Chains A and B, each alone.
Chain A
Amino acid sequence: DAKTTQPNSMESNEEEPVHLPCNHSTISGTDYIHWYRQLPSQGPEYVIHGLTSNVNNRMASLAIAEDRKSSTLILHRATLRDAAVYYCILSSSGGSNYKLTFGKGTLLTVNP
């Protein structure tokens, strides 16, 4: 399975944008890029996913590099509720596509 690399931790101030990077240099053409986050003492929750094009939803934006070897999750205005561990995960559209492999993720701290 293709692996992802994320910084262990990042810090942001409330109401400022946050850019969470993820490297996935061995990504294959059929791998989707998923982002999940885990709030303290809760199960993970879906944030966003994409394949090639940039994606936006009500929670965040996903910017995917042209060569797809990296991506960035963008929180446009961080709130205290966005403090969580963010996981960048690759999931193939074929074969064992139903498995998600979670790494350690990035711990995002949001300062008031």
Chain B
Amino acid sequence: NAGVTQTPKFRILKIGQSMTLQCAQDMNHNYMYWYRQDPGMGLKLIYYSVGAGITDKGEVPNGYNVSRSTTEDFPLRLELAAPSQTSVYFCASSTTRTGGYQETQYFGPGTRLLVL
């Protein structure tokens, strides 16, 4: 059971380039999330998904896109990378109990992105 895995671990992008950050989980969780964390700050929610085929915006969605074609995978797409997108990106997953209470979120190790 690998939990939540993210690739790549580190990437340098030039301004205007695009890339996809990969996230996969093997816990059969229905909820998945993408967060970004800037230096010295807490995590901010970019996008989330409550199940395959369903995604919604979080707090800071501009400049990003997501898709959720399977339960396991939740890739994050950066189009036209900008220096403001330099950050550490964390993917997480969770499930819910009957009654709506959210279970623990499990986080991946993160992808460090530098846009120059």
Any B CB within 8 A of the CB of A29 = no
Report A63 CB to chain B, min CB distance, Å: 20
Whether A98 and B94, one on each chain, are in contact in the complex, defined by CB atoms closer than 8 angstroms, is yes
Any A CB within 8 A of the CB of B18 = no
Residues of B within 8 Å of A49, CB to CB, are 104
How many chain-B residues does the 8 Å CB contact rule pick out? 27
Identify which of A36, A43, A44, A98 contacts B50 (C-beta below 8 A). A98
Binds B, one of A10-18, A19-27, A64-72, A99-107: A99-107
Contacts A/B (CB < 8 Å), 19 sampled: A42-B109, A42-B110, A43-B108, A43-B109, A43-B110, A46-B104, A46-B105, A49-B104, A87-B42, A91-B102, A93-B99, A97-B102, A98-B94, A98-B102, A99-B48, A102-B35, A102-B44, A104-B40, A104-B41
Which residues of A pack against B, CB within 8 Å? 32, 36, 41-46, 49, 87, 91, 93-94, 97-105
With A93-B99, A93-B100, A99-B45 already in contact, 16 other A-B pairs whose C-beta atoms are closer than 8 Å: A42-B109, A43-B4, A43-B92, A43-B107, A43-B110, A44-B107, A45-B107, A46-B104, A46-B106, A87-B42, A97-B102, A98-B50, A98-B96, A102-B35, A102-B42, A102-B43
